[in-house]
Amino acid sequence: MNNFPIDNQISLLKTLFKKWSGENANQIHLLPSSGSNRKYFRIKSSKYKALGVFNNNLKENKAFIEFSKHFKKHFLNVPEIYYEDLENNIYLIEDFGDIDLFSLIKKDKNKYSTEIINIFKKILTELIKFQLTAGKDINYNLCYPRKSFDKQSMLWDLNYFKYYFLKFADISLDEQELENDFHSFINILLKADNDYFMYRDFQSRNILICENSPCFIDYQGGRKGALQYDVASLLFQVRAEMPNNIRENLLDYYIEQLKNSIDVDEKEFKKYYYAFVYLRLMQVMGAYGFRGLYEKKAHFVQSIPFAIKNLKWMLKNHPLPEGLSELNSSLNKLSASDKFDTSIKSQDKLRVSVNSFSFKKAPPTDMSGNGGGFTFDCRALPNPGRYEKYRSFTGRDKIIIDYLEKEKEVKKFENNVFKVVEQPIEKYLERGFTNLMINFGCTGGQHRSVFFAEKLTKHIKSKYQIEVVLKHCEKESWNIM
């Protein structure tokens, strides 16, 4: 498969555009990336416009193109495929513009006005057409990476969550017991009727609003599966922050519309629906962990507290099925963890986060989305932890403070840190920035790093009228008698 540099991609797309439209492109620019590796280019000439797509995954390209043609035959609002060159991993599609449902929700002063709720009702009605009508005769052999949302697919999602979220969150767990619960949970989910088309990523960023009608994109991951998954994806989309009462009302609306086409046992449907909500939440948190905590992409990091807020609500209002004790324990530990700031409060003043940690683990993650600030390595300084008489104390105790403050190296390090930190604080205040993280690491996260985190916190508070949040990440493991 070809994976050309971006200049080559642009050149190939211009050639494709000329073949399709008969005109030279006079405008072409790359659109902001999202959570995938696909690249989208807006291309225009004097009379025509299109979106150019580059994606080096041939199977995914074939699925999107053929699904689009199939959905068009069923009069669903999906992009028309204008031209394709799969040898070079590119194709042209209809441009639906930039207004997606998510942006409308965020602009809505009432958040979920009657107008927005009515749009959701239209979307849910269209979803049924995808699931039932178009799903009847679709070619599931095109599905990538699996023909159906089967046990293997679900296990991938759950392990994605385990390795990229639970592990990053330092949640203690019995791995074998959790694996057993994953299999038991999947066996419950597989009992739901799963003979329908499942869109897979049915959420407000993938629904564009064109002339007051919803238009749909990004269904290339679709496959055969249960009805409940897509409804859960839409109504529990993390950053959409849908109020719980509206969620419940829209779920009831969907079920009533569904009853016009098939027999529905409402109680049974909802039982599986809430189970799929858990699965979707875990899949999403896995993605946030990979894209945010691992790849350090700010947007995904900022979304984590919203996901945990949804998880807390689910654990309280719709507990997991019985018999999943390790999974239940892990999710409850996660919802109670202070690893992630779940307050989700807006701020207009600078907040400085100061942390001590151990280099035996990774530095703390900046949950503000600012991308971090400073990490200072205290390991080159004299270490009181080497001496038996100091081991049961921390950098907050006078005996450790006295030991460190008598060392010239420590004083020099302190003066340098203060100078380095003061410059961005003053610039951040001047420019109206809201977050800065400062980390101090040492071997065990108990003596030197704690000493400097405490010292800097006092210094900042004495010099600036700003909020300082101090945290000692290794507090639970300090070797205190």
Q: Is the pLDDT of residue 37 over 90?
A: no
Placement of tokens 């399709």 in the chain: 20
Mean pLDDT of the chain: 94
Least confident of 65-79, 104-118, 224-238: 104-118
What pLDDT digit, counting tens, does each position of 85-95 carry?
A: 999 999 999 99
Closest CA to 153 of 282, 13, 320, 42: 282
Q: What is the mean predicted confidence (pLDDT) over 423-434?
A: 92
Statement to judge: residues 315 and 170 lie in one domain: yes
Stronger pLDDT, 44 or 33, i.e. the higher one: 44
Report how far residue 97's alpha carbon sits from residue 436's, in angstroms, rounded to the nearest whole number.
36
Statement to judge: residues 325 and 194 lie in one domain: yes
Stronger pLDDT, 60 or 370, i.e. the higher one: 60
What pLDDT digit, counting tens, does each position of 263-304 carry?
A: 999 999 999 999 999 999 999 999 999 998 888 787 888 899
- According to the model, what pLDDT value does residue 481 have? 46
Statement to judge: residues 275 and 362 lie in one domain: no
Beta-carbon count within 10 A of 211 CB:
7
Domain CATH number, residue 274 = 3.90.1200.10
Statement to judge: residues 237 and 109 lie in one domain: yes
Statement to judge: residues 368 and 220 lie in one domain: no
Provide the residue count of the chain: 481
Q: Which of 336, 365, 380 is the last residue of a domain?
A: 336
Most confident among 339-353, 426-440, 467-481 (mean pLDDT): 426-440
Distance of CA 24 to the CA centre of its chain: 38
Statement to judge: residues 89 and 105 lie in one domain: no
Distances (CA, A) of 19 to 24, 91, 213, 464: 9, 12, 30, 62
Stronger pLDDT, 331 or 369, i.e. the higher one: 331
- According to the model, what pLDDT value does residue 346 have? 54
Placement of tokens 């999943």 in the chain: 324
Least confident of 69-73, 213-217, 371-375, 419-423: 371-375
- According to the model, what pLDDT value does residue 389 have? 94
Beta strand segments in 148-242, E: 196-198, 207-210, 213-216, 223-225
Q: Is the pLDDT of residue 35 over 80?
A: no
Q: Is the pLDDT of residue 463 over 60?
A: yes
Q: Which of 61, 93, 125 is the last residue of a domain?
A: 93
Look up the domain containing 70 and give its range: 6-93
- According to the model, what pLDDT value does residue 248 have? 97
Q: Is the pLDDT of residue 137 over 90?
A: yes
Q: What is the mean predicted confidence (pLDDT) over 163-188?
A: 95
Statement to judge: residues 283 and 405 lie in one domain: no
- According to the model, what pLDDT value does residue 1 have? 47
Q: What is the mean predicted confidence (pLDDT) over 55-59?
A: 95
What pLDDT digit, counting tens, does each position of 360-419 carry?
A: 988 888 877 676 789 999 999 999 999 999 999 999 999 999 999 999 999 999 999 999
Report how far residue 368's alpha carbon sits from residue 165's, in angstroms, rounded to the nearest whole number.
17
In a domain? residue 144: yes
- According to the model, what pLDDT value does residue 294 have? 85
In a domain? residue 341: no
Least confident of 143-157, 205-219, 337-351, 458-472: 337-351
Q: What is the mean predicted confidence (pLDDT) over 325-344?
A: 85
Statement to judge: residues 80 and 132 lie in one domain: no
Contact in structure between 196 and 225 (CB atoms under 8 Å): yes
Statement to judge: residues 129 and 219 lie in one domain: yes
Q: Is the pLDDT of residue 341 over 80?
A: no
What total number of domains does the chain contain?
3
